[in-house]
Chain A
Amino acid sequence: MVRQLKAAELFLSLGLVASLAVGCSTPEKAADNLTVGEAAIAEGGEGGEGGEGGEGGEGAMSKSLNWANRFDNQAAIADFTDKVVIPNYVQYANRTAALSQAIDRFAAEPSEANLMAARAAWSETRISWETTETFAFGPAGSLGFDGAMDSWPVNRTDIENLLSGEEPITVEQVAQLQDTEKGMHAIEYLLFGPEAGKPLAEFSDRETTFLSALGQDLNQSADALLASWQEGIEGQPAYKTVFASAGNADNAIYPTTAAAAQELVSGIIDSLTEVGEEKLAAPFEAQNTQGLESRFSAQTMNDLKSNLQSAENGYMGALPTENLQAQESISTYIAAVDPGLDKKVKAEFAEASSALEAVPTPLEQYLTDPAAKGEIERAIASILAVKATLENEVVPLI
């Protein structure tokens, strides 16, 4: 009897496998029955996977998100643009200007104090940039600003070759360089050295000249990015208008207000994924500090905290560093529908922040330290917890 049962099971499972091989329409029928919001493959049981046994046991199947397409608060989108996006890009552009000036002062007078000031200005610039992560859509990608300012890793071989060459270094020439030879990480490499803490005596004139040109080039890109949002460049309309007018009849980019809210929430989720799965978790699992993004300055933890802050700013419609708070936001929208959920998200953001705060720094030193393992694991888990809540509970309301 037992043996017969097994044979029957085997027959069924082989049949399912065979049916897939010859093109039986079972899976597509299953898909057809789903509606858009649930455009996921049903988990388990479908499509003959079960019969194969063991496959995919290490995790649930990937699935689509269940957006409701009901978010209709255009004011929250406009408010986010005015209170977070534009002020953050203004702040970033100002900080790149300050960095450029600090580098110039250091180039003119290479003192310990001026070096420290230039390094501090780099850190401020970096923190401001990383808080824009949640709204990295629009011109930042397509007009190449993201690549020009934040390519990683740095092309050290090329930079060293440029430094050992004789060609004059100018801003115009730096603007033509490959993305991996300029931008924030090239400045970081030159300003901090490969091991965070390059002594003053090691700076050559050519290095400070190069730094100066890099600083000016970064500032120009930051200004152009801001202009693309504020006024529009290259004959294009201001991108703030495109985003803030989501849902207007003539808006083909964001035909509905919900589409813009989904842009924002997807950006929040993406920022959390970057920290929780890529920038922290991947180097941690590999136990390899080479993968830490700002390792020349030993300030990768600032990147992570700023990315997390960026996600929270997106949810709250806030830019705390400039004391700005939108009247309406994703948070207020959720609070109106499900106050408990809004509280939960806020509490989880707070927990993620405090967990990340508890990780000893510099991360470059503690990533491979067994004593810090517990803190790092808690940070990763708490960041992924916010992400899960957003995906599973907030998304179905947006």
Chain B
Amino acid sequence: MTSSRTARKPLSYLLLFAAACLVAILFSIAFQRITILPMGNENLAGGGTTFYNRSSHAFGQPAPGLNGKEMSLHTEGDAAFDAVFVTAPAPINAGLGPKFNSSSCSGCHIKNGRGMPQLGQALVRTSLPAAIGMPIAKTEGVVPDPVLGTQLQDSAVCGEQPEANVTISWMETTGHYADGEVYELRSPQIAVTAIDSKHSISKNLLTSLRIPPPVFGVGLLEAIPASTLEAIADPEDKNKDGISGRINRVWNFETKRVDVGRFGLKANSATLISQTATAYAHDMGVANPLLPNKDGTLEIDQATVEASAFYTQTLAVPARAKVDDPTAKKVVQTGERLFEQANCAACHLGAIKTGAATVNALANQAIAPYTDLLLHDMGQGLADGRPDFEARGQEWRTSPLWGLGLTQTVLPYSGYLHDGRARSVEEAILWHGGEAEGAKQAFVEMIKGDRQALLKFLNSL
């Protein structure tokens, strides 16, 4: 091949590409008309990245459809996610702390599932109310506390002190269904006490207990186009259904600009890389290129951050439980109908589409995450009173419900909701308030059989 021939090619390729694009767009439009999100198979919660496994291994499977190169990066990321950090100097995994919450990603995200509301798995976010002279930190979205910062590191390496002492106690309350059946709920009471007289606790400290959320399927959530979220959002409640839905706008450590928030319980992380880098820095005290030490030194490189993020990005979504028994199947279908009738599905969206993605398997998938990734006012009962970027004290991001029925198969005894206060899905429903008050009331007023059917449906996810 001569050089003159290759020189002429780019133009013709360009024309060809343009023509191909046109054809593709026309096809695309035609297809969109015919196939508006048909969940052809209700069990394929994660589209083509669905993996059938209803055991404790369910949240740890690589997404089907990864090519060889992606699969090897996933495996590398799996090791990075499991890597336990230790105090420097050390031959491997040096750089823990000096203050931290856990020594590995998987130390909190055990088997990639929901954690328990106890220190070591859960952590306490902290901040101060915004005030004159106390501005919100641009990259953190809150006013950091002078002693505790934005997160209370309750552990420290040998010779160092944790930032403060924390105790969690539980307050029990009772309520009853319309049919008279009594239920019990509990909520956490956080007590933070100073480690010594030099590190006193601010009187107006805002705290928020958080359990680790499951980490599978997040690559798909990242691939939902921002335009889709804009279209679903209804910040002014223009459709007057009592449900707003707002996008959080947060700092993206990767691009160094404000972006749509998607991850975290108040959607305060923009991308998986950004989320992973902040988790390394804040949860483990491991400095990385996006959040280096004050003197610029690093404890892990960019490749490690990316591998870890890639691992979560490419975890499969578990398929819904296959219900063969016709009677049981009918109950689940009844429950699904009740879920829609009670308007749960207004926020917990059962059908959404991903757009373009760096990983081919994640692109253009029809998925059933049961979330809109938006912030909703959940009422006073669940409020932490701690604003986070644009999220208000009563707002929380709709949690995805896929894999919900496997929560305690993966991790027995783990809790639900942001702080793990709900010991069962039933309790979690009963905590809903604010924009979800109507849905909660619908549940409270159901006859027992209907409540059980709804729970059976949720357990099939």
Q: Which A residues lie within 8 Å of B47 (CB)?
A: 27-28, 31
Check if B186 is an interface residue, CB within 8 A of chain A.
no
Contact B66 A62 (CB under 8 A): yes
A162 to B91, CA, bound (A): 19
Check if B208 is an interface residue, CB within 8 A of chain A.
no
Check if B447 is an interface residue, CB within 8 A of chain A.
no
A30 to B56, CA, bound (A): 28
Q: B293-334: which residues lie under 8 A (CB-CB) from chain A?
A: 316, 319-322, 324
Contact A39 B86 (CB under 8 A): no
Residue in B50, B57, B158 whose Cβ sees the most chain A Cβ within 10 Å: B158
Q: Which A residues lie within 8 Å of B23 (CB)?
A: 15
Q: Which B residues lie within 8 Å of A7 (CB)?
A: 16
A11 to B459, CA, bound (A): 47
Q: How many residues of A contact B (CB 8 A)?
A: 87
How near does chain A come to B447, taking the closest CB pair, in angstroms?
Answer: 19
Q: A27-B363, A69-B322 are in contact. Are A36 and B44 (CB under 8 A)?
A: yes
Contact B412 A139 (CB under 8 A): yes
Partner pick for B87 among A32, A64, A155, CB 8 A cutoff = A155
Contact A180 B67 (CB under 8 A): no
Binds B, one of A82-90, A116-124, A143-151, A205-213: A143-151
Mask of A10-50 contacts with B, CB within 8 angstroms, 1/0: 11001100111111111111111111110111000001010
Check if B451 is an interface residue, CB within 8 A of chain A.
no
Contact A22 B19 (CB under 8 A): no
Check if A397 is an interface residue, CB within 8 A of chain B.
no
Check if B155 is an interface residue, CB within 8 A of chain A.
yes
How near does chain B come to A358, taking the closest CB pair, in angstroms?
Answer: 27
How near does chain B come to A46, taking the closest CB pair, in angstroms?
Answer: 9
A15 to B24, CA, bound (A): 6
How near does chain B come to A296, taking the closest CB pair, in angstroms?
Answer: 12
Contact A158 B64 (CB under 8 A): no
Check if B65 is an interface residue, CB within 8 A of chain A.
yes
Shortest Cβ distance from B55 into A: residue = A263
A180 to B65, CA, bound (A): 36
Q: A264-312: which residues lie under 8 A (CB-CB) from chain B?
A: 266-267, 270, 277-278, 282, 290-291
Check if A239 is an interface residue, CB within 8 A of chain B.
yes
Contact B91 A19 (CB under 8 A): no
Contact A36 B322 (CB under 8 A): yes
Mask of B34-57 contacts with A, CB within 8 angstroms, 1/0: 010011110110011111111111
Contact A161 B158 (CB under 8 A): yes
Partner pick for A25 among B25, B56, B364, B405, CB 8 A cutoff = B364
Binds A, one of B194-202, B269-277, B352-360: B352-360
Q: Which B residues lie within 8 Å of A25 (CB)?
A: 28, 31-32, 35, 364, 366
A162 to B87, CA, bound (A): 12
Q: Which B residues lie within 8 Å of A239 (CB)?
A: 412
Could you write out 29 A-B pairs with CB less than 8 Å apart?
A11-B20, A14-B17, A22-B25, A27-B48, A28-B364, A28-B365, A32-B39, A32-B40, A35-B41, A36-B319, A36-B322, A37-B52, A40-B65, A41-B64, A55-B67, A56-B67, A59-B67, A62-B64, A63-B64, A67-B53, A137-B55, A153-B92, A155-B86, A165-B159, A252-B408, A267-B57, A277-B75, A278-B79, A282-B79
Instruction: Given contacts A20-B360, A21-B24, list 9 more A-B pairs with CB under 8 A.
Output: A18-B20, A23-B28, A25-B32, A31-B40, A34-B41, A137-B55, A137-B57, A263-B55, A270-B57
Interface residues of A (CB under 8 A from B): 7, 10-11, 14-15, 18-37, 39-41, 47, 49, 55-67, 69, 137-139, 141-144, 147, 151-159, 161-162, 165, 178-181, 234, 236, 239, 242, 252-255, 259, 262-263, 266-267, 270, 277-278, 282, 290-291
